[in-house]
């Protein structure tokens, strides 16, 4: 886990230590966990530092729910005013959905109730098919509904799909709704004063980027003899493994991304107008090229919501040159994590330092049975350990049954995360 030293006021990405030249906000929060290597080169192509040796109780205790049902909105939060998150491998496992992570869900809930704007900025691009984004965040949205997240707090939750192409907002019904693009107050209209934002793009420019990317991906697939397919969406092109294959080697995905980056760099150098932003990245199991990038996505949110870059924080796992979080370094401070567990750890520190973490949310280990807490089990302290364990076990079984029923209800269908297509199992 590492902090980036990026600044929106610097054009170049000069190499500096992660402990210097940071925004005052990040320095104030002191989010850096134990064993951060402050001498590492943030802009190098080396992998991120290994996970810190902090307790994993935050995200690994499936039987606990650090639920805080009371909304305690504060007028001033001593921390970021906007926190943006990558999706895969940041909020949920790569290629999976946010199904059940009550601890992380509770921390996001607490941020919203304390006036922080939360936004998921993801490469997943299903245009404005809201039900597909909702499926990816199903457990989180269900948590908000179960704990009656207030309408004014729902107003602070956003999702930016396709890096920067589709903006959705959480409504008082705890469902995602498209944000108006054009006309008075439309997000594309009010952010056009920012260069390279989607409101300034033309369809011919978009088509040219996608044509070059698709052609290059197909050439790479043939040259490397990959068992893969190239698919094209409205604002992206992807290289994905064929069904029932062993997958695409990471080196082959990197090679494809580097080829596309080189071709698009030449294309932008030939442009008379300002270059069109793009993001060619290795997704771990696939490779994608999106029109636009997370630098644009975060900038749009900052401009549309009137929030300062200095009080924005982006959390993601892809900060190499072939990753899609890298571009966000140019517009706000960033935290480089490697798993949802580390995301949970970061949010716990933000809430603690802002004095926004209720004492009841702390783990209070009572006995050798592990993370059995008075709050989470709904029990009172008993001198009889056996009685305590049995009461807690009944509570946990009830929750397990509820989760199982929800899983069974949707077990007949699944969504292809590459195409967004719903299929029968």
Distances (CA, A) of 398 to 23, 303, 320, 395, 402: 46, 45, 43, 5, 6
Distance CA 276, CA 259 (A): 18
More confident residue, 318 or 372: 318
Q: Are strands 176-178 and 82-85 parallel, antiparallel or unpaired?
A: unpaired
Per residue in 148-166, pLDDT (tens digit) is 999 999 999 999 999 999 9
């509904």: which residue's tokens? Answer: 145
Task: Tell me phi and psi for residue 336, to 5 degrees.
Answer: -95, 110
412 contact partners, CB below 8 Å, separation of at least 6: 424, 425
Per residue in 385-412, pLDDT (tens digit) is 344 334 434 443 343 333 444 444 444 4
Q: How many CB atoms within 10 Å of residue 402?
A: 10
Q: DSSP letter at 414?
A: E
Distances (CA, A) of 70 to 189, 375, 410: 37, 14, 30
Task: Tell me phi and psi for residue 149, to 5 degrees.
Answer: -55, 125
**Which entry of 58, 86, 286, 317 is annotated as an active-site residue?**
86
Distance CA 349, CA 384 (A): 35
Active site (annotated) includes residue 12 = no
Task: Write down the pLDDT at residue 110.
Answer: 96
Look at residues 358, 333, 362 and name the one whose alpha carbon lies nearest to residue 32.
333
Distance CA 325, CA 206 (A): 21
Task: Write down the pLDDT at residue 11.
Answer: 37
pLDDT at 356 over 50: yes
User: Which range is least confidently modeled, 37-46, 94-103, 221-230, 327-336?
Assistant: 37-46
B/e letters for 309-330, b = 16+ CB within 10 Å, e = fewer, are bbbbbbbbbbbbebbbbbbbbb
More confident residue, 26 or 144: 144
Q: Quickly state the pLDDT bin for 370 (edges 50, 70, 90).
A: very low
Task: Write down the pLDDT at residue 275.
Answer: 87
User: Which range is least confidently modeled, 41-55, 285-299, 333-347, 370-384?
Assistant: 370-384
Q: Quickly state the pLDDT bin for 145 (edges 50, 70, 90).
A: very high
Residue 388's H or E segment, with its range, is helix 385-409
Q: How far is CA 425 from the centre of its chain?
A: 27
Residue 312's H or E segment, with its range, is strand 312-316
Residue 169 structure tokens: 């907002």
Task: Write down the pLDDT at residue 175.
Answer: 97
Task: Write down the pLDDT at residue 96.
Answer: 86
Average pLDDT of the segment spanning 132-137: 94
274 contact partners, CB below 8 Å, separation of at least 6: 195, 196
Distance CA 253, CA 416 (A): 20
Residue 214 structure tokens: 């698709």
Average pLDDT of the segment spanning 246-258: 95
Distance CA 185, CA 303 (A): 12
Q: Are strands 278-282 and 287-291 parallel, antiparallel or unpaired?
A: antiparallel
Average pLDDT of the segment spanning 407-422: 50
Q: Quickly state the pLDDT bin for 123 (edges 50, 70, 90).
A: very high
Active site (annotated) includes residue 86 = yes
3-state secondary structure 33-93: CCCCCCCCCCCCCCCCCCCCCCCCHHHHCCCCCCCCCCCCCCCCCCCCCEEEECCECCCEC
pLDDT at 75 over 60: no
Task: Tell me phi and psi for residue 282, to 5 degrees.
Answer: -90, 115
Helix%, strand%, coil% for the chain, nearest 5: 35, 15, 50
pLDDT at 106 over 60: yes
Average pLDDT of the segment spanning 278-301: 96
**Which entry of 58, 88, 286, 325 is annotated as an active-site residue?**
88
Q: How many CB atoms within 10 Å of residue 169?
A: 18
Task: Write down the pLDDT at residue 1.
Answer: 64
Residue 81 structure tokens: 């005013």
Q: Quickly state the pLDDT bin for 420 (edges 50, 70, 90).
A: low
Residue 132's H or E segment, with its range, is helix 130-136
- Terminal C-alpha separation, the chain: 37
Average pLDDT of the segment spanning 217-229: 96
């Amino acid at each position: 886990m590492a902090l980036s030293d990026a600044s929106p006021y610097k054009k170049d990405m000069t190499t500096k230590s992660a402990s210097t030249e940071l925004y005052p906000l990040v320095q104030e929060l002191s989010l850096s966990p134990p064993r951060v290597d402050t001498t590492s080169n943030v802009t190098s192509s080396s992998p991120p530092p290994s996970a810190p040796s902090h307790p994993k109780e935050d995200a690994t205790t499936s039987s606990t729910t650090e639920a805080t049902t009371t909304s305690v909105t504060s007028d001033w939060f001593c921390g970021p005013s906007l926190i943006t998150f990558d999706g895969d491998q940041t909020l949920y496992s790569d290629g999976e959905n946010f199904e059940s992570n009550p601890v992380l869900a509770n921390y996001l809930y607490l941020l919203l109730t304390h006036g922080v704007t939360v936004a998921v900025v993801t490469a997943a691009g299903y245009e404005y098919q809201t039900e597909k984004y909702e499926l990816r965040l199903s457990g989180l949205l269900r948590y908000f509904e179960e704990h009656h997240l207030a309408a004014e707090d729902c107003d602070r939750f956003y999702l930016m799909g396709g890096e920067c192409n589709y903006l959705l907002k959480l409504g008082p019904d705890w469902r995602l709704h498209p944000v108006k693009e054009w006309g008075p107050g439309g997000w594309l209209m009010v952010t056009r004063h920012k260069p390279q934002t989607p409101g300034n793009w033309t369809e011919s420019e978009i088509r040219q980027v996608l044509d070059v990317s698709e052609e290059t991906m197909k050439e790479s697939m043939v040259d490397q003899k990959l068992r893969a397919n190239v698919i094209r969406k409205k604002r992206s092109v992807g290289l994905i493994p064929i069904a029932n294959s062993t997958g695409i080697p990471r080196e082959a995905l990197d090679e494809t991304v580097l080829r596309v980056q080189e071709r698009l760099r030449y294309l932008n150098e030939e442009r008379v107008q300002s270059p069109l932003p793009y993001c060619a990245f290795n997704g771990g199991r696939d490779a994608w090229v999106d029109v636009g990038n997370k630098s644009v996505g975060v900038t749009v949110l900052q401009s549309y919501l009137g929030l300062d870059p200095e009080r924005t924080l982006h959390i993601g796992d892809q900060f190499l040159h072939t990753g899609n979080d890298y571009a966000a370094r140019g517009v706000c401070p960033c935290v480089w994590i490697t798993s949802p567990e580390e995301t949970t750890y970061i949010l716990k520190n933000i809430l603690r330092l802002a004095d926004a973490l209720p004492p009841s949310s702390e783990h209070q280990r009572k006995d050798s049975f592990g993370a059995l807490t008075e709050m989470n089990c709904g029990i009172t302290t008993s001198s009889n350990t056996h009685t305590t364990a049995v009461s807690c076990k009944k509570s946990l079984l009830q929750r397990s049954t509820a989760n199982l029923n929800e899983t069974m209800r949707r077990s007949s269908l699944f969504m292809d995360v590459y195409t967004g297509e719903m299929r029968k199992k």
